[in-house]
A = this chain, B = another copy of it.
Amino acid sequence: MGRPDRTRRTLLDAAVVVLSKDSAASLSAVAEHAGVGRTTLHRYFPTRELLIRALVEDALDRVAEAIASAHPDEGPVVDALQRVTDTVVPLGPSLSFLHAEPEVYNARDLIRRWYEALEPVAEAIERGQADGSLRADLPVKWVVDAYAGAILTAWDTADEGRIWLQDAPRLVMTTIVHGIATPPQETS
């Protein structure tokens, strides 16, 4: 990995840290946190928008890769979701800006890529509904969003010190899979 690649990585990492705290932070702040001149930042990412895009795409790549490495298409669906959760959660709160960045919200193609990255999860959920391990009275789209939302919530909650990140995978899985009610009787 050459010098340029390392500088680029440094900038992206710094941008994640700074922008997740304040999505309106200046590029000077990003460059400073990266220990790099603002000129150099512009050399790699000519405009702010390009930086954001690169940032989001990098994050999406990481999520997609984490999901793929958990092999969501193999074995019992609940086990598969457990594996996905265990690999995605440690990616950390640093990715929680994915649903806060204004630029993301208003860029249709980025939202599309977000759901493309989640597609393997959607397929696993469909598989679970088909084989009877997941309840079929919930729309797949909703289940996908609820699951992803639970992970985002876990990141935010851990960020605020209300839970430990290491507990997050269990909390997310228990809550999403079994719910918060006691198992035996269905309270109506």
- Residues in chain A within 8 A of chain B (CB atoms): 21-24, 76-79, 99-100, 102, 105-106, 111, 125, 132-135, 137-139, 141-143, 145-147, 149-150, 152-153, 156-157, 160, 162-163, 171, 174-183, 186-188
11 A-B pairs whose Cβ atoms sit less than 8 Å apart in the complex: A77-B187, A134-B182, A135-B181, A142-B157, A143-B175, A145-B156, A146-B171, A149-B152, A149-B153, A176-B180, A178-B178
Total identical chains: 2
Determine if A76 and B187 form an interchain contact, defined as CB atoms under 8 angstroms apart.
yes
A181 in contact with B178 given A106-B22, A145-B157, A163-B141 (CB within 8 Å): yes
CA gap between A98 and B138 in the complex, in Å:
26
Picked from B99, B152, B179, B187, the residue with its CB within 8 Å of the CB of A175 is: B179
Chain B residues positioned under 8 Å from A152 (CB to CB): 149
